[in-house]
Amino acid sequence: MKHIYFLVLILLGNAILLSCTSKKTPESGSTGDAVKMARLADLKKQIATLEVEANALDLELNPVGKKAKSKVVATQSFPLTAFRNYIDLQGAVTADQQLFINAKMAGAVEHIYIKTGDQVKSGQTVATLDDALIKQGLAELEHQASFANDLYEKQKSLWDQKLGTEVQYLSAKNNKESVEKRIATTKEQWDMAKVKAPISGSIDEVMIKPGQTVMPGMPIARLINFSKLKIDAEVPESYAGRIKPGNAIKIFFPDIQKDFDSKITYVSPVINQVNRTFKVEAALPPNMKGILPNMISILKIVDYTNPKATVIPINVIQKDSQGDFVMIADSTATGQWHAMKKPIIIGRFYNDQVEIVSGLDQNHKIITVGYQDLIEGQLLAIQHQ
């Protein structure tokens, strides 16, 4: 054992001497530096190998009943699980059906049958306009229609008896049909004096008062259908190729502490030139209690999924000149647990979880407690968590 430690000291001395020599006698060009660096790396590898062998021999040479000093650690195996990477965004609730109830004709408002907060059904009359002139015109047309119909009946009777002329008969018929069409048109105009709700929903705001004159297209009230709510969000342009309709999404409402799963229903094909974002939408379940338009939500959009991945905490990963690694507990060489450095290749990570592309499997015992100061080959006492 002493001979091995002595050899380690010699190698360390050589490494130090090589370093000092490089300072005192500099070589010209970069070739000499490269050779020295390669030699130094080789010596470090030899030192690490000798340390492992020294610890193994130490175990064999210990008398029965004595144990080498071991470091207490905790280990954990990580079975294959699904790994998802999310894009975190802020969204807002909007009503899929949010519109204004508009007047279709000019006139003074005679009656208003709604107030803010009322529930209305599609086709329900919410206000009426002054229709006195329309009624008067309709009464005159109905009187003309009665006369035109009597005249037509008499001319038709004469024509059936082969009396009178065809022109008289056709003129009476045309006059009768013309008045009937004018009556139908007037009734349609009369019906327009009744302002009706185009959809079912809740009255959010009433914008007129009785006696006020309105024009065609002027809003009477704002109507919202709460049974069809959705989430709108603006996504940075950099994610344009990774978000598509059908992507899974998690939606969380911090104000009411509610969350649920949904899917992206719409992805805008246009990038906003001002803020370099594009719009996405996700549907909400109907009639959700406590969810109101313009309420803020947190969106987690899944842009990557690996259904069978090795996923470990990010804090157990260490890094050296050769890359990323974790410390694992291994017993294959000596029969007792000792620390082993395991190089790994990292994939994606989300929050404190990392996807391991290669280097680990579900049988490896990863040291999750006490890994910071471990030396490869060091004896371990595993504490069960």
Q: Residue 122 in contact with residue 143, Cβ under 8 Å?
A: no
pTM of the model: 0.49
Task: Please state which of the ranges 28-42, 169-183, 293-307 shows the lowest mean pLDDT.
Answer: 28-42
Within 161-304, where are the H helices?
166-192
Q: Residue 318 in contact with residue 324, Cβ under 8 Å?
A: yes
pLDDT of residue 324: 92
Q: How many CA atoms, within 13 angstroms, populate the side-chain half-sphere of residue 319? A: 5
Angle ∠(57,60,66) on CA atoms, nearest 5: 120
Average pLDDT over residues 1-24: 47
Task: Collapse the DSSP code of 321 into the 3-class scheme (helix H, G, I; strand E, B; otherwise coil) and give the result.
Answer: coil
60 pLDDT more than 70:
no
> Considering only CA atoms, which of 320, 331, 327, 333 is closest in space to residue 374?
327
Tell me the pLDDT band of 55, cut-offs 50, 70 and 90.
low
pLDDT of residue 346: 92
Q: What is the pLDDT of residues 210-233, one digit of tens each?
A: 989 999 989 999 988 877 788 899
Task: Collapse the DSSP code of 255 into the 3-class scheme (helix H, G, I; strand E, B; otherwise coil) and give the result.
Answer: coil
Q: What is the pLDDT of residues 246-273, one digit of tens each?
A: 888 889 998 888 888 888 999 999 999 9
Measure the N-to-C terminal CA separation of the chain; round to a whole number of Å: 35
pLDDT of residue 370: 87
Q: What mean pLDDT, rounded, does the chain reach?
A: 82
pLDDT of residue 325: 93
Instruction: Report d(CA 363, CA 2) in Å as an integer.
Output: 36
Instruction: Report d(CA 30, CA 55) in Å as an integer.
Output: 38
Tell me the pLDDT band of 239, cut-offs 50, 70 and 90.
confident
pLDDT of residue 276: 93
pLDDT of residue 111: 92
Stronger pLDDT, 338 or 27, i.e. the higher one: 338
Average pLDDT over residues 45-52: 73
277 pLDDT more than 90:
yes
pLDDT of residue 166: 84
pLDDT of residue 31: 63
Q: Residue 75 in contact with residue 326, Cβ under 8 Å?
A: no
The secondary element (H helix, E strand) that includes residue 310 is strand 296-313
Pairing of strands 296-313, 81-102: antiparallel
Share of the chain above pLDDT 90, in %: 21
The CA–CA distances, whole Å, from 245 to 10, 16, 97, 235, 239 equal 65, 62, 21, 13, 13
Residue 66 neighbours by CB under 8 Å, 6+ apart: none
* Greatest pairwise CA separation for the chain in angstroms: 143
